[in-house]
Amino acid sequence: MMTQPTRRAALGCALALVAAPALAQDGWPSGPLHVYVGFPAGSSPDVLARIITEPLAERLGQPVVIENKPGAGGVIGVQQMLANADDDDLTFGTTINGPLTTAARMMGDTGYDVGADIAPVTLIATSPLVLAVAEGSGIEDLQGFVDAAAAGDQALAYGSVGQGSGAHLTAELFADEAGVSMLHIPFTSYAEVTTSIIGGEIDAGFMAPSAAAPQVEAGSMKMLGITSAEPFAQAPDVPVIAGQAGLPEDFRAELWNGLIAPAGTDAAVIERLNTEVTEILADPAVQEQLLAIGWQAAPGTADAMAERIEADTAMWGGVIDRIEAQ
């Protein structure tokens, strides 16, 4: 502690301000980092975490251990991160949007309060969804789809990967904005949704571009629109939904994946990790690896991620309100 201000101390203060992240917690990281992932090894969120943590380990000079704790749509991963938090600030997690935005609404109680227990570090990547139909459906474009859906109440049936999943909520948001009502058929994986669309059992589905693309290439499916604000690099020919077929110009629905820490983690550590991950995501090779599994790098500040959580919680909360009111 400095009790007497001296010139040297003043200089030290100035330096400390510049190099605050490095000095505030000397010697961090003091051991291996543990990153909790709420999905099984080999799944898309898991591969994303590995793509980021491999260079991260090099930069920090400490190994980064991925802890796969799958279950409950990623909620168990967040719970386990909080349960294993320590004083050394070595416990983190990567998660998709669900556990931080809609899970509390869908499950009633997740065992954590996102605002109070979670410290966002940075957004890592986003993924839009595409609206896919069978090739032989006779629907040519988004306008045709909206017209077919408007032909009657629940004239079209769509598949999702579960109640409250991004695919479900996105479809309901779309239906609401387009002024139509569609029949929701929940499945458990995009593989099942794809089979059901190709088999002609259901009409459509909002899907991950990487799940739909191979079927489009083979001529058994087509993509009518994408939910991002701009065309997506993995499916550049697919038009954005916003502004088409009577949908609002600001229509946008994306899944995202971010790095989080338990609340109480040193601000300097969060700052340091944010900087490292942002630099990692600037590497074109990393961006390409992410794109191959359907994610577009989208780093930002910790505050920006906190805002995104808040905005999405409100937006999807409104969609859930409308679904429950039906």
Partner 1 sequence: MSTWDGLLTGLSFALQPGVLIYCVLGVMLGTFVGVLPGIGAMAAISLLLPITYYISAEAALIMLAGVYYGAQYGGAVASILLRLPGTPQSAVTALDGYPMARSGRAGVALFAAMASSFVGSMLGILVLVLLAGWLSRAATAFGAADYAAMMVLGLVAASTIGSERPAKGFAMIALGMLLGCIGTDVNSGTMRFTFGRTELLDGVNLVALAMGLFGVAEVIGNVRDPDRQGVAERIGLRQMAPRREDLRRMPLPMLRGASLGSFFGALPGTGSTLSSFLSYALERRVARQPERFGHGAIEGVSGPEAANNSAAITAFVPTLTLGIPGDPIMALMLGALVIHGVQPGPMMLEARPEMFWGLVASFGIGNLLLLVLNLPLIGIWVSMLRIPFRLLYPAILIFVCLGVYSVRGLTFDIVAVAGIGLAGYLLALARFSPALLLLGFVLGPLIETNLRRALLISRGDPMVFLERPISAGFVLAIAALLLLSAWQALRRRR
Which residues here bind partner 1, judged by CB under 8 A? 40-44, 47, 50, 67-72, 75-76, 79, 106-111, 154, 157, 162-164, 183, 185-189, 191-192, 194-196, 198-199, 201-202, 210, 213-215, 217-218, 220, 289, 292-293
- Helical (H) or strand (E) element with 224: strand 221-226
As measured in angstroms, the least distance from the Cβ of 42 to partner 1 is 4
**DSSP letters spanning 274-302:** HHHHHHHHT-HHHHHHHHHTT-EE----H
Q: Which residues contact 142 (CB under 8 A, 6 or more apart)?
A: 131, 224, 225, 239, 241, 244, 245, 247
As measured in angstroms, the least distance from the Cβ of 240 to partner 1 is 23
Of 21 and 294, the one with the shorter C-beta distance to partner 1 is 294
Of 162 and 231, the one with the shorter C-beta distance to partner 1 is 162
Instruction: Tokens for 317, please give them.
Output: 């909360």
Of 141 and 192, the one with the shorter C-beta distance to partner 1 is 192
Of 262 and 294, the one with the shorter C-beta distance to partner 1 is 294
Buried b (16+ CB within 10 A) or exposed e, 302-320: beebbebbeebbebbeebb
As measured in angstroms, the least distance from the Cβ of 170 to partner 1 is 16
As measured in angstroms, the least distance from the Cβ of 207 to partner 1 is 12
What are 126's strand-pairing partners? 256, 296
3-state secondary structure at position 49 = helix
Q: How far apart are CA 97 and CA 107, in angstroms?
A: 15
As measured in angstroms, the least distance from the Cβ of 267 to partner 1 is 29
Of 183 and 229, the one with the shorter C-beta distance to partner 1 is 183
